[in-house]
Every structure is written in C-alpha cells, then in structure tokens.
Structure 1
Amino acid sequence: MLHKGFMLDEIEDIPRAISELTRRIDEYFVEFARVFEARRVRRVFLVGCGSSFNSAYIASYGFDRRLFEVYSETSSSFALYTDGLSSTDCVIGFSRSGETSETVWALEKAKSRGCVTVAFTNNLDSSMARIADVAIPVYAGEEKSVVMTKTFVNLSLSGLYMGARISRREQLIDEFKNLDKIASSILEESRNLEDRSTSMLLGESSVYCIGEGVCYGSARESAIKLIETSRILASYFHAMEFRHGPISIADEKPIITIALKDSSWKYIEKLIADIGSVASKLILVTNSDEYCMEHTIAYKVYSDKPAELLAALAVIPIQRIAYRVALSRGLDPDRPKYLSRYIKLT
C-alpha cells in the first residue's frame, strides 16, 4: 500500500481541479479581453520560474501566432535582460504562490514600461495579483506539498484557455470539454504501470526527458519532478535535437519521451523507432497505439484532442513515478531537500 502524503493526494485531485477550472475560468475572460483589446496588444510574453515557467511555455501554445508575437521566458531572463517594451505588449506571469521574486520583478518591470500585466496564480491575495491589471485564479485548491502537481496542470490549462479565447480559436476552446475525464483515465493507466516504471528507474542516477513542440514543456516538467523528488539527474531536450549528440549514450540511460500527435508526428514517430532500436530502457507517454517495443513501458493517453491540451496531463504519469521512486529511496516527496514553496529574494 502506498504511503499517503500531500503530493499523492494532490496528484489524485487533478481531475477535480480541472473540472473546477473549466467550470469557472470564463468568469475572468471579459476583464482579460478588455485590457487586451483596449491596448491593441501585439506582443505577449509569458513568464514564470521552475514548474511555473513550464506552465507558461505550454500556455504559450494557446495563442494564435498569426495574430500575436508570442514569447515564453524565465522570469529572471525577462526581468534582467528584456528591453524595448511598449504599451502594446502584454506580460503574463505564472506562479502558484504569486510571491516568487523573479516573477514579481518581471511584472513590476512590465508595469513600469506601460505594458498590460496579467497574473495567473493560485493565490489572489498575493503581490503578483496586486501588481497585475488582471489577476486570474487557477482554481487548483490548496497545494500543501512543496512540489507542484495539480497547480502545474491548472496553470497550464488556464493560460491555454485564455490564449485560445483571445485568439478566437473556437475549435480549440470546444476541446476543453471532458479534460477531467481524460486526467482520470491517465491516472488509472499510471496506477497499472507505475510498479514497472519505478523498478526501471529505482537504481538510476540520471535519465533523459524529451519532447517536441508543446511536449518540450512536458519533458522539462517531467525532468524537474524527478530531480526534485527522487534526486535523479534528469536532462531535458527538444526531441528533434536528440540525434544531435545525446543519442550517443541512449543505450546507457533511461529515456522518458512525451510524444503526442501534432504537426511534427511523422518525424517524432521515426525518432521513437530510432531510439527504441538502441535504448535499453524507454518510458513513453503517447496517444498513439503503435508502440509495443522491447524494453518499453508505454503509457497510453486515450484521447485525440490537440496536443496543446494534453501536454500538461501527459506529465501525470511522471509525477506518480517520481513520487514512487522518492519513497523507495527513503526520501520525502512533500519536502525535497533545500526547496521551499517559493523563492523570496532581496
């Protein structure tokens, strides 16, 4: 029987959190659209730190890039280096606590340059919410673990939704229905396979996590979860870059691949076959039915929804694996060494 901790409870709460988000997120769209349209926004910067940056990266795929120039940056990079801002720019900060110093600095800088500022957060009583022109709650509910799980998912989906709405991507908006049910099916798949995955990773000191397009955000987040909880050194790469160096030791290290069908699929499909021919250990999270290779554990995402909407959900199996490996190593996944709920710098 699994040790019950905050992290596991919060992973199991993801379907409820998604349901609450999709039921209520429209309450804030009118205000979001008002400031966007009043300023004739043309450039959008999505910023965050750690898991919140990975949410920002995934959320950037909600915007129609034919209508807006869209950039995702770490909050520190934006705060320290980005110049040439104007009143037709919008800077959107992502943070569970709303207090992360670098993201607060990014919004303060944007505000001082006359930009539209927006905060996606799980805490409306926060510095970011007070700074922003519009503060949008992500309805994840309380998250007691230091490690982000359900808030990562809801930050990603809330940003995606607002980007799709402001871009009038009606087909993508319609696809937000029933995401909670897909999350439930992914959780069930995870429970069935995680014993094998835990055994595969338990003795490892390092792994690769790869994904392309929006799934690169999934790969980054998967790596962070393994680093934080299990003290596994996880490196993340754009999948199409994997042949350019890292594949040379693919026969030595486990590889976690997030592969959801999108415009890159014919290339990713070939890459997976190439990796499968040399990798000794492969964990695959995919909505394709085509993979039953030796040495591969395949987590099936039972949905043909757009990859943008599934990318955050595809991290759920890795969240559970990271939790299980941490416990097996005698680590506390709720309170990883040297980490705090948010970083406060002076």
Structure 2
Amino acid sequence: MKDEIYEIPGKAQLCYEKNKGLALPGKVPYIGMGSSYFAPMVFKYLGVNIYPELASEFFNYGIQYPGLDKAVLISQSGKSSETLWCADKVESFAGIMNDINSPLGTHRNLSKTIELFAGEEDFSSTKTYINTLIALYLGFGFNPGPAIEVITRDFSLYETEGGKLGKKILKFYGKGKCRGVYIIGNGPNTATSQLAALVISESTKIPVQGMAMAQYDHGVKETANGSFIIAINPKGKASKRTSDLLKTVNKAGAVTFELNNFGVEEEFSPLVAPIPFFFAANYIAAKLKVSAPFIVGGKVTTVT
C-alpha cells in the first residue's frame, strides 16, 4: 500500500496535465459507489450544481422515471456492478475511470471518456481517489495545480502526521475499551471523512465511521466517553464550532485528534486531507500484520 501512496504526487501531476481543458456537465446525476460516490460529494458542498448519487440506491429507487438521457458515471476500476447497471439505463453518459478498457470504458452508452492515469492500484482507493478529485476540479472550472504543488512539497509532512495518527489509533484501540472511532468534517470534507473511514476500515479491519461534524454533534457525541474523535478542520465556516466540539467531547472522556494545517484554502483541502489518513491506514495495517488488503471480498465489488 505504501508504494501506491508514494505514487500520489507524480500520478496527480500526470492526471492534471492530461485532463487540462476538461469540461463536465452540471445539473445531472454523478453516479458511483464507495470512493467514487464520495468524490462528487465534495463538489456539491463547493456550490457546484450536480446531483451525487449512490449507484445502488439510484438504480433500485431513483432511476424509475423514463428518459434519463445524461449522467456522469464514476468507477475507478470501471467494473463496479451497480454502476454498470446504471450505465445500461442511461442513454448517454460520460465515464470517469482508471481503466479505459474496462466494462465501463467500453460500454455501448459511453459518450465521453475521462481517464484518471493513476496506474495499477491493488489496495484501497488512494491515488485513484485523488485523481478523481483532480478530474472533477478541472471539469468544474477549478485550478488544482497549486494544490498539487503543495502535495508534492509537503508529502513527507503528511507521512509524519499520518504516522502520528496511526500510532494514536492503534494505542487507543489496543486498550480494548474502544467504544468507537469517528472521523468528522465539514462541507466538502464531509466526503473526506467518509473516504478516510472507508480506507482505514478496509485496510486495517478496525471499524471507523465518517460523518459531518454537525451530524456527530446532533446526538452521536453522547458516545464520547471511550471514543476516539478525529476532526478534519481547515480554516472555514465551521472550524470554530468543530474546535469547540472537540473540547466538549474531550472533557466527556473522548480522545481527540485535529488535522487543520493543509497548506491550501478550504476549497482545495479535500485534495490534501486524505493523504495523512492513507499513511495512518498503512501504518496500522503493517503493525497489525494484516494478511491481505481484502479478505471478506475483493477490491472490486461485483454482484450477480
């Protein structure tokens, strides 16, 4: 996993260079599963008029109306079953994928291909997630170039921070009295919190939940005693409330950890904030001697 994480700066720059000038549509569904669903959620909370949809639920419950003629489908592998089911129902779609020779990349209804150029990825979605965000930033008229430069410049700092976080999670979880590990974020980093929880959970086999800070504040905070709360908290509209909440739950018996120095403005922090979590996941998995990245299932979820 670590080797794939180390490829992030170079693969991010390649995706940026290859997809300059990309334009993506608004006012259409952006459909995916897992990290491919979280990525467009970032932009919903950056004011982009799109409709992020979970492919499974959209197929079963949201696609019942006729005449869905346009959508953007995201599947980093290009093989996720539920996304392919949706592809069969959409008259014409743009596809964002890492493998252009995949079933999604060769689908009869595909009208536009956006390649991620992340290279092979055998572990959790790390470099493919970052490159999905880069494609979306470009497609919606943002310039992620300076943020990519920050990633390259500060990459070793993210590894150090991720190692610190990994040690704290492992120490806390190892005590045997852990009641929960939560990652919280605001606005576009609500998606980051869910992505980080997914990567740590599947890589380490430790259950972690990600959610909006305010959602945690609305009741879940009652589980604070014996919980570990990690806040993604760049300077922004809800940063003070988040810091105050951490103080409150700390007094109530929670262990807290705050990530707030990303070297970029809040709107680009979702591009940087996942990286310490990737390193934390790798650190924990190595210490726990996790035998394989995927045990119960595979990297690609296929449903028959």
- What TM-score, normalized to structure 2? 0.88
Deviation at 1:345, TM superposition (A): 2.2
Give the corresponding residue for 1:129.
Answer: 105
Aligned length: 295
Matches within 5 A, 1:4-43: 7-26=1-20, 29=22, 32=23, 36=25, 43=27
Between 1:269-278 and 1:206-215, the stretch displaced more is: 269-278
* Contact kept in structure 1, 2:118 and 2:131, CA below 8 Å: yes
Deviation of 1:269 after TM superposition, in Å, equals 4.1
Whether 1:106 and 2:90 are equivalent positions in the alignment is no
State the distance in 2 between where 1:72 and 1:279 align: 36
Residues 236 and 85 from structure 1, CA distance in 2 versus in 1: closer, same or farther, beyond 3 angstroms?
farther
Identity of aligned residues (%): 21
Q: Secondary structure at the match of 1:257?
A: strand
Report the residue type matching 1:301 in the other structure.
F
2:262 equivalent in structure 1: 301
Does the alignment pair 1:233 with 2:193?
no
Residue 184 of structure 2 contacts residue 211 of structure 2 at CA under 8 Å; is this kept in 1? Answer: yes
Question: What does 1:111-260 correspond to in 2, within 5 Å?
Answer: 111=91, 116-131=92-107, 132-143=110-121, 145-162=122-139, 164-165=140-141, 173-174=142-143, 176-203=144-171, 204=173, 206-260=180-234
Instruction: String of CA shifts for 1:27-80, please: whole Å, max 9, x gaps.
Output: 6x2xx56xx5xxxxx622112111222123224456633xxxx22121101111
For 1:96, the aligned partner's letter is Q
* Cα displacement (A) at 1:277: 4.1
Classify 1:62/1:127 alpha carbon distance in 2 versus 1 (closer, same or farther; 3 Å).
Answer: farther
- Closer, same or farther: CA 180–329 of 1 in aligned 2, 3 Å: same
Q: Encode CA deviations 1:61-104: one digit per residue, 9 max, x unaligned.
A: 56633xxxx221211011111133546x6321111111111011
TM-aligned CA deviation for residue 25 of structure 1: 0.5
| 2:37 corresponding residue in structure 1 | 53
Is the Cα contact below 8 Å between 2:30 and 2:72 reproduced in 1? Answer: yes
CA contact (8 A) 1:212 1:239 kept: yes
Q: In 2 relative to 1, CA 260–195 (structure 1 residues): closer, same or farther, beyond 3 Å?
A: closer
